[in-house]
Chains A and B, each alone.
Chain A
Amino acid sequence: MSALATAPAHDHHDDHGHHHKETFITKYIFSTDHKMIAKQYLITGLLMGIVGIGMSILFRIQLAWPEESFWVFEALLGERWAPEGVMSPSIYLALVTIHGTIMVFFVLTAGLSGTFSNLLIPLQIGARDMASGFLNMVSYWLFFLSSVIMLCSLFVESGPAMAGWTIYPPLSALPQAISGSGTGMTLWLVSMAIFIASSLLGSLNYIVTVLNLRTAGMSMTRLPLTIWAFFVTAIIGVVSFPVLLSAALLLIMDRSFGTSFFLSDIFIKGEVLSHQGGSPVLFEHLFWFLGHPEVYIVLLPALGITSEIIATNSRKPIFGYRAMVASILAIAFLSTIVWGHHMFVSGMNPFLGSVFTFTTLLIAIPSAVKAFNYITTLWKGNLQMNPGMLFSIGLVSTFITGGLTGIILGDSTLDINVHDTYFVVAHFHLVMGISALYGLFAGVYHWFPKMFGRMMNKNLGYIHFWVTAVGAYGVFFPMHFIGIAGLPRRYYTNTSFPYFDDYADVNVIITVAAIITALVQLVFIYNFFSSMFYGKKAVMNPWRSNTLEWTTPVKHVHGNWPGAIPSVYRWPYDYSKTGEDGEYVIAGQDFVPQTTPLQEGEEELNH
């Protein structure tokens, strides 16, 4: 089958080469081909991920063995930030800040959504490329530029941004308050402004492509759930990212031009500042108006990827397709009206707190529907335990665990005493951090053959999954308990409070688990890069999947399909569909690709 699939593709590719002269630069660097751009996003995202996870290991070491000397600090942070190998409090806050920023925006927004939206939207809807290949290229390069600026800010003399990834003013506005709020914060803001521009260009492109470039027969209700997720994610992005841009611009003005949007009545370092009448609470509103939808911008693509992978590997249709789409839409809508649950104790009117509690707990309903539907999809399936499938099941597991604690944090009353403690850290890492990372890994294992024409090593994938799964719970499960015991987050050390002394053991366990989990990611990185060159050559449809991307040749061609774009005759989840006689629709094959017309006597279910 492999030979059959690849041979004609190869011919066509050579043929294709005669049309446009492709140089190294147009093919690998300033490429307008969505598949190449997806790979660029993925590799940039993975590199940023190495930086982000590495930082978390550094500050976890400090938390487990506070104020002790480590050569690794001295080597990586230098004499200035780690005198005699002891991490300084400022750089601790900087590491926490940049870890958050990189993981949320650069890895999970760009690395996950950027990669798979680019790769899958044209391939799964049956389009030759994005609506605008050029804008798509600009989007990637703006992302690249913002990554470079963010990394540059690490080398600034006064240190990178240190005000937390939420950069609440006045701390982020006043270099007198913390050294990272000088040049470091300026670079952070510039980098994020460029990042937002990149994200908006990308999102607009995704929306237009999904709306206009679907192939014949691909109605909205025949879209794979991946596309629904990417499409809705792009809409949330377009609605909410501009608000963060305005917050960033106002903050830049407060910092550089003496305006008072967020600052008022401040006395610092022996002098009164002239700012009057601004409010930090306004910034919090603007920030979380993006910040909360951002959680779903990160999570929805992961859930979309999981839906597709679970259905394929269960050899069963996803259970409740319409309910899944409705849940995505409901989550998207609700996600824009729940931001206040980050601000229950911000000084906001308590009545507003009640409203946000109400909307926040509502969002648990579509989330619960999704979780139940995944579980039902597994029921009576024929589960193929590929690494992508394992990560998808892992995602459902962490999504449930992390989602449930959201019921506690979303309740304004209960939030009072666990706000900004390790309970919050445990909650959001499980529900958006780990879950979205699992989505990313699942997607990479599943679509690696499509991206690079080779298979990843499954055994390394299994090691990667199991150690990560145990390790991730080992890191974040105990955190709930120290959080609920009142341990605040973002503390350089807990030794100033003897009351917290007996939690020190837990911090050691967490750090050990974190180090092991981080180390096993090296197995993934090795598997990824070695499979790229030495992996087993992939066949056209290795997972026996229904969606359109598996009808394209293994060897990439500009325009995706060598001949005409295929038409679509059915939804993408006809796995193990049988006729009335109990036989598969296509004899001997438990899947029916979307390009297969309805067979004689077959009924199209109205999903």
Chain B
Amino acid sequence: MTVFLVIIVLALLAVTGWQISKIFQLSKGSDEDTSQVANDKDNRTHGILMLAFVIFLYVITIFCFWEYSKFYLPEAASEHGSEYDTLMFVSIGLIMFVQIITQGLLHYFAFKYKGKKTQKALFYADNDKLEFIWTIIPVITLAGLIIYGLFTWSDIMNINEDEDPLVIEVYAYQFDWRARYSGEDNTLGKANVRFIEGVNQLGVDESDSYGKDDVITTELHLPVDRPVLFKFRSQDVLHSAYFPFFRAQMNVVPGMITQFGFTPTITSEEMRESEYMRDKVKSVNEVRNERNEVLRAQGEATLDEYEFEYFLLCNKICGQAHYNMQMKIVVESEEDFNAWMAEQPTFGSTMEESSQNVDRPEDTAGNGTPEAMQEDSEGQMETENAPEGENAVASVE
């Protein structure tokens, strides 16, 4: 495919080059004109090329819409996403309409009125009526777009707290993400980078009782059809939490908490089984298989078979591994979500365990990466049975 497209591009350029070489020859004809100012022959050639150019523009437009519009993201997996997509399609339709007409006129006029010695231009300096018309048409169209856009914007950005959204903190650092669920009380414990120590990699305030039941994870699991309110916090530099499949994005700013809310509507499983995604995964795997053949020939490790998962990615330049700062998102049924959540250790239990292990320095050193904090659930069972641990909780409370 690539080769084919490259050939098309090269062929088009070759045709251009060939045409131009003709111009060269023509301009060096019998009536040698060396003034370097365009003569009628130049006007003719380039008038025609202008027409050819607008045809090229139309062709490349049709080609891109034909070939590349399949790249457009799948059906939005969030409640506001369908509104977003509608607005997007209305806007694209509108601008393509204007694009086709204005480019057509511009290049057609360039072709139609190409200069001739005998031709006289029309002295036409002003027409208030015309100018009024093409001021007022954009005014009306844009007023419509602005109003439509602003209603959608305030729908999306005004978070309705009455619906009791699930509160989740998305925590960014160079170059990974963590999610902190607010636990049973649905309230996040206070946190600040100044509390970061040992296994407490997110700087949750141990003295804040709201934080005890917080759950910190490396994957983002979301129950389907339940509003979620994300609170974003960064440890070091600016990041941006971009959820392309949910039509959501918010910058993550050190020193302040930003927020964005949406309701996921399509589970990962449903998305994987959609027609769009089956085609997409198939075409991705074709590309990967092609590449694997090359890798195999070179005796290198091959790529895994791709299976679709939602992801969250960093979309604000944040350092050298910016290109690989991602987190898996799983949208699942309420039951699956609860089951998964029950397996995760709470912040309180993790801290207790680490205080127990304080005499085993190799465990508590904290390697500087939150991976160290990823404890398996067996460890958690031990701490829950430990009486000292319970005392510790009580004393803090």
Contacts and interface: CB of A to CB of B under 8 A. Distances in A.
Contacts of B315: 419-421, 488
A344 to B, nearest CB: 9
Contacts of B254: 170, 263-266, 280
Nearest to B53: A469
Contacts of B24: 459
A499 B311 contact: yes
Interface in A459-498: 459, 462-463, 466-467, 469-471, 473-474, 477-478, 480-482, 484-486, 488, 490-494, 496-498
Given A412-B153, A417-B244, A493-B323, A163 B194 contact: no
Contacts of A484: 71-73
Interface stretch (B84-92, B162-170, B210-218, B388-396): B84-92
Interface string A333-353: 000000000000111001001
A429 B63 CA distance: 21
A382 interface: yes
A375 B315 CA distance: 39
Interface in B216-259: 232, 235-238, 240, 242, 244, 247-251, 253-256, 258
A368 B12 contact: no
A417 B89 CA distance: 13
Interface stretch (B282-290, B341-349, B356-364, B375-383): B282-290
A493 to B, nearest CB: 6
A24 interface: no
Interface in B42-83: 42-43, 45-47, 49-50, 53, 56-57, 60-61, 64, 68-69, 71-73
Interface string A367-397: 0110111111011111111100110010011
Given A280-B238, A382-B113, A382-B121, A266 B193 contact: yes
B251 to A, nearest CB: 5
B41 to A, nearest CB: 10
B23 A459 contact: yes
Nearest to B135: A369
Nearest to B324: A496
Contacts of A53: none
A566 interface: no
B134 A372 contact: yes
Contacts, number: 419
A396 B102 CA distance: 10
B91 A411 contact: yes
Contact of A473 (B57, B119, B146, B192): B57
Given A178-B320, A280-B254, A270 B368 contact: yes
Contact of B113 (A381, A462, A469): A381
Interface in A134-179: 162-164, 168-171, 174, 177-178
Interface residues of B, number: 133
A458 B127 CA distance: 35
Interface string B89-132: 00110110011001101110110011110011111111100110
A597 interface: no
A368 B138 CA distance: 7
Interface string A294-335: 000000000000000000001111111111000000000000
A320 B64 CA distance: 36
B20 interface: yes
Interface stretch (B30-38, B178-186, B332-340): B30-38
A463 B20 contact: yes
Contact of B142 (A89, A362, A421, A466): A362
A492 B323 CA distance: 6
B103 A383 contact: no
A414 interface: yes
A513 interface: yes
A266 B256 CA distance: 11
B56 to A, nearest CB: 7
A494 B251 contact: no
A397 B60 contact: no
Given A279-B255, A416-B247, A369 B68 contact: no
A498 B115 contact: no
Contact of B317 (A164, A318, A407, A469): A164
Contacts of B50: 393
Given A272-B193, A369-B134, A382-B116, A491 B145 contact: no
A458 B37 contact: yes
B61 A477 contact: yes
A379 B109 contact: yes
A405 interface: yes
B88 A178 contact: no
A509 interface: yes
B366 to A, nearest CB: 9
Contact of A408 (B91, B150, B321): B91
B329 interface: no
A267 B149 CA distance: 38
Nearest to B306: A498
A471 B16 CA distance: 11
B1 interface: yes
Contacts of B87: 411, 413-414
Nearest to A415: B249
A357 interface: yes
Contacts of B322: 89, 93, 490-492
Given A357-B146, A413-B153, A346 B56 contact: no
A483 to B, nearest CB: 10
A347 B35 contact: no
A265 B190 CA distance: 14
Given A368-B134, A416-B249, A509 B9 contact: yes
A490 B49 contact: no
A493 B124 CA distance: 53
B2 A505 contact: yes
B326 interface: yes
Contacts of B235: 266-268
B313 interface: yes
A94 to B, nearest CB: 10
B5 interface: yes
A457 B38 CA distance: 11
B13 interface: yes
Most buried by B among A277, A492, A505: A505
B196 A267 contact: yes
A404 B61 CA distance: 14
Given A272-B193, A385-B46, A414-B88, A513 B16 contact: no
Given A401-B103, A481-B72, 18 more contacts: A171-B238, A265-B255, A266-B235, A267-B236, A317-B125, A320-B131, A350-B154, A354-B153, A354-B154, A358-B146, A361-B145, A379-B113, A417-B249, A421-B315, A474-B60, A498-B284, A576-B120, A577-B123
Q: Which 9 A-B pairs have the closest CB atoms?
A: A264-B255, A486-B244, A350-B157, A481-B68, A347-B258, A455-B36, A485-B71, A385-B46, A267-B193
Interface of B: 1-2, 5-6, 9-10, 12-13, 16-17, 19-20, 23-24, 27, 34-38, 42-43, 45-47, 49-50, 53, 56-57, 60-61, 64, 68-69, 71-73, 84, 87-88, 91-92, 94-95, 98-99, 102-103, 105-107, 109-110, 113-116, 119-127, 130-131, 134-135, 138-139, 142, 145-146, 149-150, 152-154, 156-158, 173-174, 192-194, 196, 203, 232, 235-238, 240, 242, 244, 247-251, 253-256, 258, 280, 283-284, 286-288, 303, 306, 308, 311, 313-324, 326, 368
9 contacts: A265-B255, A382-B120, A385-B43, A408-B91, A416-B156, A419-B315, A493-B323, A542-B35, A576-B120
